[in-house]
Amino acid sequence: MKKMYNKLLTLVASSAFILAIQAVNAASREHIYQGEEPEALKKYKK
């Protein structure tokens, strides 16, 4: 029973992590469409 709970917890955590990454990507894309570059992109381009 405990192993199953741990697996479920891991699945939820990884799903939340993926959703967070997607949210950040979407926010970055919106900035680019507005003609603004997020700070992170500016650092990578230097």
> How confident is the model over 22-38, as pLDDT tens digits?
998 888 777 666 655 55
pTM over 0.75: no
Alpha-carbon distances, residue 35 vs 19, 22, 24, 44 (angstroms): 25, 20, 17, 17
Tell me: pLDDT of 11 over 70: yes
What's the pLDDT at 32?
A: 60
